Amino acid sequence: MDDHEMVSPADDARDRGPAKYFHGRSGILAALARERRHAEKHQAGNIFLVQGAPGAGKTALLAECAKRAESKEWQVVEIDPDALWDPTTLRKALKARQSKLQIEAASAQAGALGVGGVGITARVPELTTLDLLQHSGKEKLLLILDEAQRLGDGRANDVRRAEIASNVLTRIHNGELGRPVILLAGGLGTSRRAFEELGISRFERKCLRELGRLTHESERAILRDWLTKDGGAAGDVTPWIDAIAHETHGWPQHIMAYVDPAVTQLYQDAGKLTLQGLDAVLCAGRKNRVAYYLGRLADLRIEQRRALAQIIATTPPGKGISYTDILKSLTRSHEKAEAEHLFEHALHKGVLAADEDGRYAVPIPSMHDWLLFSYLEHPPQVLPSPAPHLEARDVRSHEGNLPHDRERGLGGDIAFPNAVP
């Protein structure tokens, strides 16, 4: 078999889509379960929005929510934004999940439109999206909308489409469809604004969730599953988990950035947990992290990146800065319109994220550090603690943490390969 056709246990280590090993997010899962029970009891509905930066694990969470809803006999239908105003798009989404779709009378003029099998006759197009949701059965329905920020990307800006989408969203939000219907939406930090533009200005207290890092316990559980079940690790994986978790900060995308090389390394070493193997994993994981960071900044010019770094430098990791102060800083080097656009772009790409107080910060500690050392003329001289469980002879491979070594491409929590001086 050719090398490119060989199967590796790391093939399933993806940083997008459903998670092979899901842990954590118990608060969100419990809140959505509560909404399902309420909808069942009162034949009602709601909108549940989860938003966060790219790589926070939104799609994996939505998949887990779908699996749990299906286990409680909810019909789960994945939709695109167009389905809120386009009957054809919604009809296709419903048909994709049903072996039989019965359309009840949408109005006195429409009459009985029930159709057996999986098809729908040519008479159906006169139905609206609202008709389809109200009269496509009595099943409990969970609509899942991923990348919800796309509601505001222009396709809903047509006045008529916006009116239709607004009406549909309002009816779902108020539980006025005569059946249990919940819209579960996941998207970037601009998703709430997209809903506001379509008339949904207020969410139930526990139905708007900002997705951040995983808990320490969940992060370690995910790493343990991958190392033992897919990597076939022979022995105590705690030192490897300690070292990797020291650099992933509970961020799902970062976890997978290290899982891929870790599983590959263990496969090559027949499950042996060597210090040399761990060092290779850490180096590869850091490169993957940098690729992620550069992807967040891909559309920004070097001077724009430096302007963002200047803002970030004024606040410690995890501390936010107000929108007014951000704009004040950006307008020192950019026209107001460009400064506003730069802020929106940074928010959309996950470089910045809002906290509960409405302030903004880099959501990932290591990305905060990378931005400073990559784009500040005089980066802070801070030496992070070495990864735990590494013996003295292995610290040499982490000397790249020193700021003066950053151009050498040596890795670490502060110095990264491909950094821009």
For residues 105 and 93, give the distance between their C-alpha atoms in angstroms, rounded to a whole number. 20
Q: How far is CA 159 from the centre of its chain?
A: 30
Predicted local confidence at residue 17, as pLDDT: 64
Count other C-beta atoms under 10 Å from residue 208's C-beta: 17
Q: Which of 49, 55, 13 is nearest to 364 (CA)?
A: 55
Going by the DSSP 8-state scheme, the letter that residue 321 receives in this structure is: B
Count other C-beta atoms under 10 Å from residue 283's C-beta: 19
Do residues 187 and 194 make contact, with C-beta atoms less than 8 angstroms apart? yes
Sign of CA dihedral 275, 280, 283, 286: negative
- Predicted confidence pLDDT, tens digits, the chain (421 residues): 344 544 455 555 555 568 899 999 999 999 999 999 999 999 999 999 999 888 899 999 999 999 999 999 999 999 999 999 999 999 999 885 553 344 443 433 344 334 334 444 444 446 899 999 988 778 899 999 999 998 876 555 588 889 999 999 999 999 999 999 999 999 988 898 899 999 998 898 899 998 888 999 999 999 999 999 999 999 999 999 999 999 998 999 999 999 999 999 999 999 999 999 999 999 999 999 999 999 999 989 999 999 999 998 887 766 789 999 999 999 998 999 999 999 988 988 889 888 777 889 888 888 888 999 999 987 766 544 444 544 433 333 332 332 323 322 333 333 333 333 3
Do residues 281 and 241 make contact, with C-beta atoms less than 8 angstroms apart? no
Predicted local confidence at residue 403, as pLDDT: 31
Token duo for residue 59? 């799609």
Predicted local confidence at residue 9, as pLDDT: 57
Predicted local confidence at residue 32, as pLDDT: 97
Q: What are phi and psi of 403, to 5 degrees?
A: -55, -40
Do residues 90 and 132 make contact, with C-beta atoms less than 8 angstroms apart? yes
Q: How many residues does the chain have?
A: 421
Residue 370: what residue type?
A: W
Predicted local confidence at residue 384, as pLDDT: 47
Going by the DSSP 8-state scheme, the letter that residue 228 receives in this structure is: I
Predicted local confidence at residue 409, as pLDDT: 32
Give the global pTM.
0.79
